[in-house]
Amino acid sequence: MYKIATEEMAVVAIRNVFAKHRTIASQRLLKSLVDKEMEEGGEPYKIAEKRLRFLTLDNGIATVLIEYRESETKRAISMCPVCGARLKRARNMTVFGGTVTLGYNCPSCGYNTGARRRVPVKYTFIRRK
């Protein structure tokens, strides 16, 4: 029924949406605006929210403000849950000469977390100049 948008099509639609809006207050709102933008081309295309977020950030169209909640998870992570980039580990030396992982941060979108994982719960997108 719905077709999955190609990357090029989605990026054009995202750029058009941000040409009209400087800030978009949630990922759900961004998705509905982009879906609507693509529908105006005639056929009903859709894009998944995570893919939409990755494309928006990867293509430098917007930056993101992230609101978090704390989770109990302490498992190591290597990939940014927000934009998919490789995370940098923040380490500290211990008195015994080893290192301990304090957390992670993303050099690409600014996601950061302590050893106890912070889970993104809300995104605000802001158009890049």
Q: Could you tell me whether strands 23-24 and 3-4 are parallel, antiparallel, or unpaired per DSSP bridges?
A: unpaired
Task: Determine if 10 is a binding residue for Zn ion (CB under 5 A).
Answer: no
Residue number, 27 or 35, with CB nearest to Zn ion: 27
CA–CA separation, 30 and 27 (whole Å): 5
The two tokens of residue 74 are: 């302490």
Task: Determine if 82 is a binding residue for Zn ion (CB under 5 A).
Answer: yes
Phi-psi category of residue 105: left, alpha or beta, with phi > 0 → left and psi -120 to 50 → alpha:
beta
Q: What is the DSSP string of 29-62?
A: HHHHHHHHHHHTTSS-EE--HHHHHHHHHHTTSE
In the complex, what is the shortest distance from the CB of residue 110 to Zn ion, in angstroms, rounded to a whole number?
7
Binding residue for Zn ion, selected from 106, 117, 123, 125, defined by CB under 5 A: 106
Task: Determine if 108 is a binding residue for Zn ion (CB under 5 A).
Answer: yes
Task: Determine if 62 is a binding residue for Zn ion (CB under 5 A).
Answer: no
In the complex, what is the shortest distance from the CB of residue 38 to Zn ion, in angstroms, rounded to a whole number?
25
Binding site for Zn ion (CB under 5 A): 80, 82-83, 85, 106, 108-109, 111
